[in-house]
Amino acid sequence: MGWFTLSPTLRTLVTVATLAACTAGHASAQPSVATQRAMVYGIVHDSVAVRPLGGAVVQLVADDTLANFGRTIVSDSTGRFSFDDVPAGRYTLGFFHPMLDSLGLEPILRTVAVTGASAVHADLAVPSPARLRTAICGAPSGQSAGGVLIGSVHSALGRAPAAGVTVIAEWIELTFGTGGMTRRMPRRTTTTRENGWFSLCNVPGPGLLMLMATQGADSTAMVEVLVPAAGFQRRELYLGPARVAAGADSARRVHVGDGRLSGIVRATADGRPLSGAQISIVEGPQTRSNDRGEWAFTDAPPGTRMLEVRAVGFYPERRAVDIVDSIAPLRVALATFKSVLDTMKISATRTVDQNLVGFQERRRSSVGRFLTPRDIAVRQPFATSEIFRSVPGLFLDRTMDAEEKVMMRGLFEDRCEPAIYINGQWMNGLTSGDLDGFIRPNDIAGIEVYMAGQVPAQFQPGLGGCGSLVFWTK
């Protein structure tokens, strides 16, 4: 139980339980007195994940220390616990679990009264997201107080808590007004405590944000975190050292280390192993799966990283992985284009959206380039901006302010910034990162690509001599 940080109340609970256990033998030697005894039972709930909490150490201790009663039991996989043969009296009921430390909060204790032989039902719970938010960030003010993101940062080597680590969260905000669209990239920054714990208040809830941890020369990858409608999310991060080395093509620089990561890649439909799949750690080493679908890295950079898996004829998979000591092999399943495209065909039988009617009409005019979900699927993009790496006349370039944007050839210059429309709305000044955050490849119903001189009037905000990109979502 060394990993718990106990509150004064909980220390008292443990002390009383220990004393009761030590004196139980002496108490049992005393003359027996006929008393009514009952069962105390219940379920430990995880109100954050909305499921039972197994493995909780539940303790029931008599408020009267002279009663010499203290018992401990571990909740089962369904969160259930029970204490038999409990004499009449008043008791304090509480529980311990590693999750409580990760939340940075003390558990709520409750008083239980046993008055006779009747069973007593007493549930326990991790506080609800709303109560957690209030406890961490204070009472909400205004109509929308936003969400809260909590977690802890640990060393990838040994998993010890990492204190003094900077944790950064970023997300995109768009405001539409009479002057057009205003784009902001809010940022929240905090520093971990001695136990590695951190909290970030007033983040989008619900919403998608990017999260990373950094300390000195070491940093995690920038990972996506989805804050649900409840406005509360938890994410653990692992920080480890990495060094820069030359990639397989000698021109590419990659981050490597002493981490080990292995796994197997299979087809979702029939479970068969996929040979020759490309496995990559973003900004790190690459490898391929063998005939049994197995793959391994022995030079992976430790810590929280992004893993990418591609195989010909399958949708790619991208996920965050924690490369730490003794990590279990990963299992990755890839879906075929056919299974996903068949689903698209089924969804297309519903009433056709007017936007897509216009898409098909303009497509028949043969002016511009039109990309359907099938065209997008065969490109295997992890992010929407990657689609344009293989479209003639389009480029991903860094601008003077170092931001990456989709560019194309213009009438008056070699590279220009096309106008971007999403579902008919002009979105001025989007970076490729903004585009990736707004639209996922699987959500795209169609893309219209117009070079300079081809743009229909409704998708031409001015006379800048550049083209337009028009996105329609499902």
At 306-323, the pLDDT tens digits run 999 999 888 888 899 999
Mean pLDDT of 242-249: 78
CB neighbour class for 455 (10 Å; exposed up to 12, middle 13-18, buried from 19): buried
| CA pair distance 291, 274, nearest whole angstrom | 7
Cβ(375)–Cβ(391) below 8 Å: no
**pLDDT tens digits, residue range 373-387?**
989 988 888 889 999
Domains in the chain, start-ordered, CATH in brackets?
A: 8-127 (2.60.40.1120), 138-239 (2.60.40.10), 243-335 (2.60.40.1120), 339-473 (2.170.130.10)
**Residue 214 is encoded by which pair of tokens?**
């950094």
pLDDT reading at 47 higher than 80: yes
**Residue 450 is encoded by which pair of tokens?**
């117009």
Share of the chain above pLDDT 90, in %: 48
| CA pair distance 22, 243, nearest whole angstrom | 54
Mean pLDDT of 330-357: 63
pLDDT reading at 349 higher than 50: no
Lowest-confidence segment of 27-36, 171-180, 243-252 by average pLDDT: 27-36
Cα separations in angstroms, 408 against 81, 227, 371:
64, 35, 16
| CA pair distance 220, 117, nearest whole angstrom | 56
| Cβ neighbours of residue 309 closer than 8 Å, sequence gap 6 or more | 265, 277, 278, 279, 280, 316, 317, 318, 332, 334
pLDDT of residue 26: 43
Mean pLDDT of 22-46: 64
Mean pLDDT of 440-459: 91
**pLDDT tens digits, residue range 451-474?**
988 999 899 887 667 999 999 998
pLDDT of residue 274: 96
Mean pLDDT of 384-394: 91
Partners of residue 323 on adjacent β-strands = 303
pLDDT of residue 263: 97
Q: Shortest CA distance to 241 belongs to which of 222, 211, 219, 212?
A: 219
Mean pLDDT of 173-194: 80
Q: What DSSP string describes 392-461?
A: TTEEEEE-TTS-EEEEE--SSSSSB--EEEETTEE-TT--HHHHHHH--GGGEEEEEEE-TT---GGG--
Q: Shortest CA distance to 41 belongs to which of 124, 157, 159?
A: 124
pLDDT of residue 351: 40
